[in-house]
Amino acid sequence: MSKYTRVYGTHDILPKEAERWRGVEGVIHDFMELHGYGEIRTPIFENTELFSRGIGSETDIVSKEMYTWEDTNKQSLTLKPELTAPVVRAFVEHHIGRQTPISRLYYLDALFRRDRPQKGRQRQFHQFGLEAFGSAHPEQDAEVISMAYKIFDTFGIEELNLQVNSIGSSEVRPAYLKILREALQPHITEFCDTCQTRLDRNALRLFDCKSKTCQKLLDAHAPVIIDHITEEDRVHFDQVLEYLTLLNIPFTQNNKMVRGLDYYSRTTFEITSSAIGAQDALCGGGRYDGLVEQIGGKPTPAVGFAAGLERLLLAMGEAEDEPESLTDIYFLILGDKSRGQALITADQLRREKGLRVIVETMRRSMKAQMREANRQKAQYTIIMGDDEFDREVAIVKDMAQGEQHEIPLDALTDQFQVGSECGCCENDKHPEED
Ligand code: HAM
């Protein structure tokens, strides 16, 4: 047992798994760029206030889940628990909106929430997502929602369920919250302690409660916000739904879905899949027309989504195929004299031919080195002992065919092409036979 283990709720990504991550990340980068979104990377920590004000102090994220500490200068800092507020902060700080009326940004990043770990829920996890700034029009919502849906479709995820709602513009909120409070007040003692304290402070957050009792009480007594939105909000939402229908994106309306962050206005949505168990939310997002101004920028409408990368990988299932070999050449060394030369030649092969070369550094027996080359699934081995070093040659062995040839050192690099085809073995012809 190691003296130190990873922190509860965090994961190591080992090479085989990392290869799978890289493949998925590559598809996400291509997909985003295909839609005109440019990548943004923000720092791993920010001023705490950005989140407490941006996301809302009564949300689960801010009230329970942030990793916050006081720095030496008494500044309160927080590991980012979500990426929308940092992206908005960067959008405002770099005056990105001044360069173009519509800015499309995407990200793929790590974040941190002190949530209760379980399958599909970690304390350090990764999200990919996007934020589109500048358009208040429903076609922008439809673009964002359809991109979220299509990307899961691209990865072949089944049993997708897209739920949409409108919580109306922020102006309707005070009147609705008053109605909500009045409706729930007579039953408040039946709610959990958190809900009881939230009723006065931020009643919308009662909908985030995971307690079945609270959810049942809400079903029975809470008016839904969509019945209290303005005519303009309604027209906007209907148009979003129309565009989704046009794009053949299947959806259901869920009038209870308000999403667990305070910044949303109008459209909210979530995509779930029953294929991944209890933590079935693959992605969530919505419109947040007030956040840019709240963070100090000019009023700018915006809409976006974020999706859990670990959950996407979970939904994709275990990789069935054996991963491809990562090694083109394993360099066996059988004598002290050849060690330096092996390092030089290996570097030449990497630099000039782009080949993946591993050099033996354990000083093992020939048999053990050969076993290692097989374990690494190397296509070729290069063998160099003191005798070969003295004669300025090396032995190249094609591991699949079992053939081997002696090649002069100065001709060795040219024997290999990218894709690790060895000239002498391919042609079954030794250069010295000429
Ligand atoms: P969110 O719903 O908090 O939204 O998170 C989005 C997604 O991140 C979830 O649907 C889930 O897939 C994943 N996720 C959340 N928490 C965890 C966790 N502890 N472990 C693993 N995966 C997790 C946001 O973060 C908003 N910023 C989305 C957004 C972007 N809205 C507008 N733009």
pLDDT digits (tens, 9 = 90+) for 83-99: 999 999 999 999 999 88
Residue nearest to atom 31 of ligand 1 (CA): 285
Q: Which atom of ligand 1 is nearest to the CA of 84?
A: 27
Does the Cβ of 181 fall within 6 Å of ligand 1? no
Local confidence band at 277 (pLDDT 50, 70, 90 cut-offs): confident
* DSSP 8-state class, residue 288: -
The predicted pLDDT at position 279 comes to 80
Using a cut of 0.75, tell me whether the model's pTM lies above it.
yes
User: For residue 271, what are the β-bridge partners?
Assistant: 162, 283
Residue nearest to atom 17 of ligand 1 (CA): 121
Q: Cα dihedral angle (228, 231, 235, 236), rounded to 10 degrees?
A: -70
Q: How many helices (H) and strands (E) does the chain have?
A: 17, 18
Give the whole-angstrom CA distance, residue 202 versus residue 211. Answer: 17
pLDDT value at 173 more than 60: yes
Give the whole-angstrom CA distance, residue 181 versus residue 199. Answer: 6
pLDDT value at 431 more than 50: no
Please compute the mean of the pLDDT values over residues 21-31 and round it to a whole number.
97
pLDDT value at 27 more than 50: yes
The predicted pLDDT at position 323 comes to 63
Which of 311, 313, 314, 316 for a ligand 1 pocket mutation test, highest count of atoms within 8 Å of Cβ? 311
Give the distance (Å) from ligand 1 centre to CA of residue 313. Answer: 15
Does the Cβ of 376 fall within 6 Å of ligand 1? no
Give the distance (Å) from ligand 1 centre to CA of residue 284. Answer: 6
Instruction: State both tokens at 123.
Output: 């304390």
The predicted pLDDT at position 97 comes to 92
Does the Cβ of 273 fall within 6 Å of ligand 1? no
Q: Are 80 and 111 in contact (CB under 8 A)?
A: yes
pLDDT digits (tens, 9 = 90+) for 306-364: 999 999 999 998 766 666 777 999 999 999 999 999 999 999 999 999 999 999 999 99
Does the Cβ of 113 fall within 6 Å of ligand 1? yes
Local confidence band at 419 (pLDDT 50, 70, 90 cut-offs): low
pLDDT value at 420 more than 60: no
Give the whole-angstrom CA distance, residue 331 versus residue 320. Answer: 30
Percent of the chain with pLDDT over 70: 94
The predicted pLDDT at position 101 comes to 86
Does the Cβ of 283 fall within 6 Å of ligand 1? yes
The predicted pLDDT at position 99 comes to 83
Rg (CA), the chain: 29
Give the whole-angstrom CA distance, residue 88 versus residue 92. Answer: 6
Give the distance (Å) from ligand 1 centre to CA of residue 270. Answer: 10
Local confidence band at 280 (pLDDT 50, 70, 90 cut-offs): confident
Does the Cβ of 305 fall within 6 Å of ligand 1? yes
Please compute the mean of the pLDDT values over residues 96-109 and round it to a whole number.
93
Give the distance (Å) from ligand 1 centre to CA of residue 82. Answer: 7
User: 239 Cβ partners below 8 Å, 6+ apart?
Assistant: 138, 139
- Stronger pLDDT, 78 or 433, i.e. the higher one: 78
Q: Which atom of ligand 1 is nearest to the CA of 311?
A: 12
Using DSSP's 3-state secondary structure scheme, residue 405 falls into strand
Does the Cβ of 342 fall within 6 Å of ligand 1? no
Average pLDDT of the chain is 93
Give the distance (Å) from ligand 1 centre to CA of residue 247. Answer: 25
Does the Cβ of 208 fall within 6 Å of ligand 1? no
DSSP per position, 137-159: SHHHHHHHHHHHHHHHHHTT--S
Please compute the mean of the pLDDT values over residues 157-162 and round it to a whole number.
93
Does the Cβ of 127 fall within 6 Å of ligand 1? yes
Does the Cβ of 60 fall within 6 Å of ligand 1? no
Does the Cβ of 383 fall within 6 Å of ligand 1? no
- Stronger pLDDT, 284 or 277, i.e. the higher one: 284
Does the Cβ of 282 fall within 6 Å of ligand 1? yes
The predicted pLDDT at position 426 comes to 57
- Stronger pLDDT, 427 or 356, i.e. the higher one: 356
Please compute the mean of the pLDDT values over residues 389-404 and round it to a whole number.
95
Give the whole-angstrom CA distance, residue 426 versus residue 423. Answer: 5
The predicted pLDDT at position 283 comes to 97
Length of the chain: 434
> Which of 29-38, 100-109, 273-282, 285-294 bottoms out in mean pLDDT, i.e. has the lowest?
273-282
Residue nearest to atom 8 of ligand 1 (CA): 308
User: 77 Cβ partners below 8 Å, 6+ apart?
Assistant: 45, 46, 47, 48, 68, 69, 70, 71
Between vectors from CA 298 to CA 295 and to CA 302, what angle results, nearest 5°?
Answer: 75
